[in-house]
Structure 1
Amino acid sequence: MIVLAFDTEIVASAGSALAGVAQRMADDVAVLENTVAGSGNPWGDDESGSTFAVAYQAVLGHALGALGSYVQQMGDAALSLTLQARAVAEADQASAFEISAGVT
Protein backbone atom coordinates (compact mmCIF):
# COMPACT_ATOMS: atom_id res chain seq x y z
CA MET A 1 0.00 0.00 0.00
CA ILE A 2 1.32 3.39 -0.97
CA VAL A 3 0.46 6.33 1.26
CA LEU A 4 0.75 9.87 0.00
CA ALA A 5 1.45 12.47 2.64
CA PHE A 6 0.65 15.95 1.36
CA ASP A 7 0.96 18.77 3.87
CA THR A 8 -1.00 21.58 2.27
CA GLU A 9 0.51 24.23 4.53
CA ILE A 10 4.06 23.25 3.55
CA VAL A 11 3.17 23.16 -0.15
CA ALA A 12 1.39 26.53 0.04
CA SER A 13 4.36 27.97 1.94
CA ALA A 14 6.72 26.65 -0.74
CA GLY A 15 4.53 28.29 -3.39
CA SER A 16 4.67 31.58 -1.55
CA ALA A 17 8.44 31.35 -1.12
CA LEU A 18 8.85 30.52 -4.79
CA ALA A 19 6.71 33.53 -5.73
CA GLY A 20 9.09 35.69 -3.68
CA VAL A 21 12.06 34.22 -5.52
CA ALA A 22 10.36 34.89 -8.86
CA GLN A 23 9.70 38.50 -7.87
CA ARG A 24 13.30 39.04 -6.78
CA MET A 25 14.49 37.48 -10.03
CA ALA A 26 12.21 39.80 -12.02
CA ASP A 27 13.58 42.80 -10.13
CA ASP A 28 17.16 41.66 -10.74
CA VAL A 29 16.53 41.09 -14.44
CA ALA A 30 15.04 44.59 -14.70
CA VAL A 31 18.12 46.08 -13.02
CA LEU A 32 20.39 44.06 -15.32
CA GLU A 33 18.46 45.18 -18.39
CA ASN A 34 18.62 48.83 -17.35
CA THR A 35 22.34 48.51 -16.70
CA VAL A 36 23.39 46.77 -19.90
CA ALA A 37 20.91 48.50 -22.21
CA GLY A 38 21.28 51.92 -20.65
CA SER A 39 22.59 55.03 -22.29
CA GLY A 40 26.09 55.12 -23.63
CA ASN A 41 28.00 52.60 -25.65
CA PRO A 42 31.48 51.70 -24.44
CA TRP A 43 32.43 50.18 -27.81
CA GLY A 44 32.40 53.50 -29.67
CA ASP A 45 30.87 54.78 -32.87
CA ASP A 46 33.50 53.55 -35.32
CA GLU A 47 32.95 50.67 -37.76
CA SER A 48 34.26 47.91 -35.47
CA GLY A 49 32.31 49.33 -32.52
CA SER A 50 29.12 49.42 -34.59
CA THR A 51 29.68 45.82 -35.72
CA PHE A 52 30.20 44.74 -32.13
CA ALA A 53 27.07 46.62 -31.02
CA VAL A 54 24.88 44.72 -33.50
CA ALA A 55 26.16 41.34 -32.28
CA TYR A 56 26.00 42.43 -28.64
CA GLN A 57 22.40 43.61 -28.93
CA ALA A 58 21.35 40.31 -30.56
CA VAL A 59 22.95 38.24 -27.81
CA LEU A 60 21.65 40.59 -25.13
CA GLY A 61 18.11 40.35 -26.47
CA HIS A 62 18.26 36.56 -26.47
CA ALA A 63 19.73 36.42 -22.95
CA LEU A 64 17.16 38.82 -21.50
CA GLY A 65 14.36 36.90 -23.21
CA ALA A 66 15.61 33.65 -21.72
CA LEU A 67 15.86 35.18 -18.26
CA GLY A 68 12.36 36.62 -18.58
CA SER A 69 11.04 33.22 -19.61
CA TYR A 70 12.68 31.61 -16.59
CA VAL A 71 11.13 34.22 -14.29
CA GLN A 72 7.72 33.47 -15.83
CA GLN A 73 8.20 29.74 -15.30
CA MET A 74 9.11 30.32 -11.65
CA GLY A 75 5.98 32.43 -11.19
CA ASP A 76 3.84 29.78 -12.88
CA ALA A 77 5.30 27.06 -10.63
CA ALA A 78 4.61 29.20 -7.56
CA LEU A 79 1.00 29.67 -8.60
CA SER A 80 0.60 25.96 -9.37
CA LEU A 81 1.90 24.96 -5.94
CA THR A 82 -0.44 27.39 -4.21
CA LEU A 83 -3.47 26.29 -6.25
CA GLN A 84 -2.67 22.60 -5.74
CA ALA A 85 -2.38 23.06 -1.99
CA ARG A 86 -5.73 24.87 -1.94
CA ALA A 87 -7.42 22.17 -4.06
CA VAL A 88 -6.14 19.34 -1.85
CA ALA A 89 -7.19 21.18 1.31
CA GLU A 90 -10.68 21.75 -0.11
CA ALA A 91 -10.97 18.11 -1.19
CA ASP A 92 -9.87 16.97 2.28
CA GLN A 93 -12.45 19.22 3.92
CA ALA A 94 -15.21 17.97 1.63
CA SER A 95 -14.25 14.34 2.30
CA ALA A 96 -14.13 14.95 6.03
CA PHE A 97 -17.59 16.51 5.90
CA GLU A 98 -18.97 13.60 3.89
CA ILE A 99 -17.49 11.09 6.32
CA SER A 100 -18.82 12.94 9.37
CA ALA A 101 -22.24 13.30 7.77
CA GLY A 102 -22.33 9.63 6.85
CA VAL A 103 -22.50 10.38 3.12
CA THR A 104 -21.02 7.73 0.85
Structure 2
Amino acid sequence: MAGFDVVPEPLRDGGTRLAEAGDRFADALETLEATLAGYGEPWGSGDLASLIGPAYRQTAEYIIGCLYVAADEMAIGGDDLVGMADAYEAVEDEVAQMFTSISGQLG
Protein backbone atom coordinates (compact mmCIF):
# COMPACT_ATOMS: atom_id res chain seq x y z
CA MET A 1 0.00 0.00 0.00
CA ALA A 2 1.37 3.38 -0.99
CA GLY A 3 1.49 6.00 1.70
CA PHE A 4 2.12 9.66 1.96
CA ASP A 5 3.66 12.00 4.48
CA VAL A 6 1.96 15.10 5.75
CA VAL A 7 4.00 17.76 7.47
CA PRO A 8 1.46 19.79 9.45
CA GLU A 9 3.44 23.00 9.94
CA PRO A 10 3.84 23.95 6.25
CA LEU A 11 0.20 22.97 5.68
CA ARG A 12 -0.83 25.23 8.56
CA ASP A 13 1.39 28.08 7.31
CA GLY A 14 -0.04 27.79 3.80
CA GLY A 15 -3.57 27.79 5.17
CA THR A 16 -2.87 30.87 7.24
CA ARG A 17 -1.43 32.69 4.24
CA LEU A 18 -4.37 31.68 2.05
CA ALA A 19 -6.88 32.92 4.64
CA GLU A 20 -4.98 36.20 4.96
CA ALA A 21 -4.95 36.58 1.16
CA GLY A 22 -8.72 36.11 1.11
CA ASP A 23 -9.10 38.82 3.76
CA ARG A 24 -6.82 41.20 1.85
CA PHE A 25 -8.77 40.50 -1.34
CA ALA A 26 -12.04 41.37 0.43
CA ASP A 27 -10.46 44.60 1.72
CA ALA A 28 -9.33 45.49 -1.80
CA LEU A 29 -12.85 44.88 -3.07
CA GLU A 30 -14.24 47.29 -0.46
CA THR A 31 -11.75 49.91 -1.68
CA LEU A 32 -12.78 49.23 -5.28
CA GLU A 33 -16.45 49.65 -4.42
CA ALA A 34 -15.77 52.95 -2.68
CA THR A 35 -13.71 54.18 -5.62
CA LEU A 36 -16.40 53.24 -8.13
CA ALA A 37 -19.09 54.89 -6.01
CA GLY A 38 -16.95 58.04 -5.91
CA TYR A 39 -17.22 58.37 -9.69
CA GLY A 40 -20.94 58.91 -9.43
CA GLU A 41 -22.71 58.52 -12.76
CA PRO A 42 -20.16 59.57 -15.39
CA TRP A 43 -22.41 58.43 -18.23
CA GLY A 44 -24.59 61.51 -17.82
CA SER A 45 -28.36 61.87 -17.80
CA GLY A 46 -29.65 61.51 -21.36
CA ASP A 47 -31.65 58.72 -23.00
CA LEU A 48 -28.57 56.62 -23.60
CA ALA A 49 -27.46 57.18 -20.00
CA SER A 50 -30.80 55.81 -18.78
CA LEU A 51 -29.82 52.52 -20.44
CA ILE A 52 -26.15 52.51 -19.52
CA GLY A 53 -26.58 53.35 -15.84
CA PRO A 54 -28.75 50.41 -14.76
CA ALA A 55 -26.78 47.96 -16.92
CA TYR A 56 -23.50 49.17 -15.43
CA ARG A 57 -24.80 49.00 -11.85
CA GLN A 58 -26.23 45.51 -12.24
CA THR A 59 -23.11 44.21 -13.94
CA ALA A 60 -20.76 45.79 -11.41
CA GLU A 61 -22.82 44.50 -8.47
CA TYR A 62 -22.87 41.00 -9.93
CA ILE A 63 -19.13 40.90 -10.65
CA ILE A 64 -18.16 42.38 -7.29
CA GLY A 65 -20.51 39.92 -5.56
CA CYS A 66 -18.78 37.03 -7.35
CA LEU A 67 -15.39 38.36 -6.32
CA TYR A 68 -16.53 38.59 -2.68
CA VAL A 69 -17.57 34.95 -2.88
CA ALA A 70 -14.09 34.09 -4.21
CA ALA A 71 -12.47 36.04 -1.36
CA ASP A 72 -14.65 34.24 1.19
CA GLU A 73 -13.82 30.86 -0.33
CA MET A 74 -10.10 31.65 -0.15
CA ALA A 75 -10.42 32.53 3.54
CA ILE A 76 -12.55 29.46 4.27
CA GLY A 77 -10.15 27.20 2.35
CA GLY A 78 -7.24 28.61 4.33
CA ASP A 79 -9.05 27.99 7.60
CA ASP A 80 -9.83 24.44 6.46
CA LEU A 81 -6.14 23.80 5.73
CA VAL A 82 -5.22 25.02 9.22
CA GLY A 83 -7.87 22.68 10.65
CA MET A 84 -6.51 19.82 8.55
CA ALA A 85 -3.00 20.43 9.87
CA ASP A 86 -4.33 20.46 13.43
CA ALA A 87 -6.21 17.20 12.81
CA TYR A 88 -3.14 15.46 11.34
CA GLU A 89 -1.07 16.60 14.30
CA ALA A 90 -3.69 15.38 16.78
CA VAL A 91 -3.85 11.96 15.11
CA GLU A 92 -0.06 11.67 15.08
CA ASP A 93 0.10 12.57 18.78
CA GLU A 94 -2.63 10.05 19.61
CA VAL A 95 -0.92 7.27 17.67
CA ALA A 96 2.43 8.06 19.30
CA GLN A 97 0.79 7.89 22.74
CA MET A 98 -0.83 4.56 21.86
CA PHE A 99 2.51 3.07 20.79
CA THR A 100 4.18 4.42 23.91
CA SER A 101 1.46 2.82 26.03
CA ILE A 102 1.69 -0.52 24.21
CA SER A 103 5.49 -0.45 24.44
CA GLY A 104 5.26 0.18 28.17
CA GLN A 105 2.84 -2.71 28.63
CA LEU A 106 5.10 -5.08 26.70
CA GLY A 107 8.08 -4.09 28.76
TM-score category, normalised to shorter length: over 0.9
Between structures 1 and 2, the one with greater helix share? 2
Q: Deviation per CA, 1:54-97, whole angstroms, max 9, x where unpaired?
A: 10011001101110110111011001100000011001001100
Match in the other structure for 1:85: 85
1:1-36 CA-to-partner distances (Å, cap 9, x unmatched) read 312110000100000110111111011111111111
CA distance in 1, matches of 2:9, 2:28: 29
Q: What residue ranges of structure 2 are gaps of 5+ in the alignment?
A: none
Q: Distance in 2 between matches of 1:40 and 1:20?
A: 31
The aligned residue for residue 23 of structure 2 is: 23
Tell me the residue number matched to 1:40. Answer: 40
Identity of aligned residues (%): 26
Trace 1:1-104 onto structure 2 (pairs within 5 A).
Answer: 1-38=1-38, 40-102=40-102
The alpha carbon displacement at 1:38 in A equals 3.0
Report the TM-score, using the length of structure 1 for normalisation. 0.93
SS for the counterpart of 1:63 is helix
Larger Rg: 2
Q: Following the alignment from structure 2 to structure 1, what is the Cα–Cα distance between the partners of residues 37 and 59?
A: 12
Runs of 4+ in 1 over 6 A off after TM superposition: none
Q: How many residues align?
A: 103
Structure 1 stretch displaced more, 84-93 or 41-50: 41-50
- Across the aligned residues of Structure 1 and Structure 2, the Cα RMSD in angstroms comes to 1.3
AA paired with 1:87?
A
Q: TM-score, normalised by structure 2?
A: 0.90
